[in-house]
Structure formats: structure tokens, C-alpha cells
Amino acid sequence: MRALHIRLVVELLYLLALSSTCAAAASECATFSAAPGGYQLSAAFAVDAIKHAVISPPACLRAGDLLSIRPFRLNADEYLVLQKCNSTDCTQAEVIRAWNSSGYMGPYPVLTHKIPIEEGARYLLWMQHVRVAGQGSFTLIERDGPPLVFRPVGALTAYGYVRSALQAALARGPAPVKKAVQERSTFVATFEGGSVVRMQALRPGQ
């Protein structure tokens, strides 16, 4: 537990440093451009400048805007998580979406692929590697918890060696983004291990 506490303190300091990255992204929010389907699109996402592991959406998103996040070729030991901070200091966060190699993680139903934005909220998109040999992927995730901490639930977590693997993943932290580019109106992130995530911010047309 002491190691976990130290880890969380480090992560909270890290999250506070993300504000400078978000401020830099704010100048790019004017990049919304018209697209077919009645939406304006923006690819002004930003990767944090400290660990290159957390992606923030465009800083000037407002109520009514949407996120589209599409992971490709996730490996069996990879989990992509979108969290929303539940307080100004982000000591607690809520999982908005999570993906494994098969698709969405439960237990919460996903009714639409587009993710509504809460104005003023901070969102964190990150990937965690958890190496559990021969056991497949976790399919369920706990909704509420600390930021940047992967907390699956289900029968698999009862095994001691699985808990050890989760502690090792916590010590490593989120997987680094090895490459990030804008392809027209899409932000494309390639994570360590080769998995690719494509994302856009969508604003309904005026």
C-alpha cells in the first residue's frame, strides 16, 4: 500500500503538470473544420510533455462536443482507458470508456461510439500493459478510482499472480506514445508495442 500511495502522489504531480500541455493545445482549438455529416472536426489533441504517455483532448471543448476514439490492433495485454477527473486536483477519476483487444470493456453499456463532453472537465486517455501469461484479457473495469491506475474487476483478479502483474503495471505506469501525428482532421497515436489509436473531436455544425 505504501508503494501505491507513493505512486499516486507522483501521478498527481504529473497530472498538475498537464495543464501547461492543455494550454498549448488551446491555441489549436480554432482548427475545427467543416466535414461531411454535419460536424466540424478537430485533431488538436496533445500528448503530455513529461512522460509522453497521456493524451488530452482539445482544451476548448464545450458542452455538446463529442469525442470519437477508435483503437486499432490492440494486443492482448493492452488496455486503453479514457478517464474524466472528478475534482479540480484530479485525486479521483471516472472511467468513461475502456477497451481491450476485443473491443469495449464492461460492465457499463456503450450505447454510442461518440463520447459526449462535459464542459470544463479534464479528460485523460492512456494505455496500460498488463502481462498475464495464458489468461486472455480482462473484460471488466471499475468505474471510479485514482487517475492513471488500471483497476479491472472479475474472477481473474482473485489470483495472486494476477494481482502481482497489476502491481507491476502500476509501477511501470501508462505506456508511452511513440509517435503522434495529425492526418488531416484525425489525431493518430502509436503506442509502445505498435498499437494505433485514431481520434477526433466533433462539434455539431452551426
Q: Which residue has the higher pLDDT, 177 or 113?
A: 177
For residue 89, the one-letter residue type is D
Q: Is the pLDDT of residue 47 over 60?
A: yes
> Is the pTM value of this prediction over 0.75?
yes
The pLDDT value given to residue 32 = 85
The pLDDT value given to residue 68 = 97
How far is the CA of 60 from the CAs of 9, 93, 105, in angstroms?
27, 20, 28
Nearest of 127, 107, 125, 118 to residue 173 by alpha carbon: 127
Q: Is the pLDDT of residue 21 over 50?
A: no
pLDDT in tens, 135-174: 678 999 999 999 999 999 998 898 899 999 999 999 999 9
Contact by Cβ (8 Å): 89, 8 = no
pLDDT in tens, 101-148: 999 999 988 988 999 999 889 999 999 999 887 667 899 999 999 999
CA angle, residues 68, 72, 74, in degrees to nearest 5: 120
| pLDDT band, very low/low/confident/very high, at 4 (cuts 50, 70, 90) | low
Helix axes 2-26, 160-172, angle to 10 degrees: 40
**Residue 193 cell numbers, joined:** 508495442
pLDDT in tens, 52-80: 999 999 988 999 999 999 999 899 999 99
Nearest of 84, 69, 89, 68 to residue 19 by alpha carbon: 89
59: Cβ contacts below 8 Å, ≥ 6 apart: 22, 23, 25, 26, 29, 46
How much is the average pLDDT of 178-194?
95
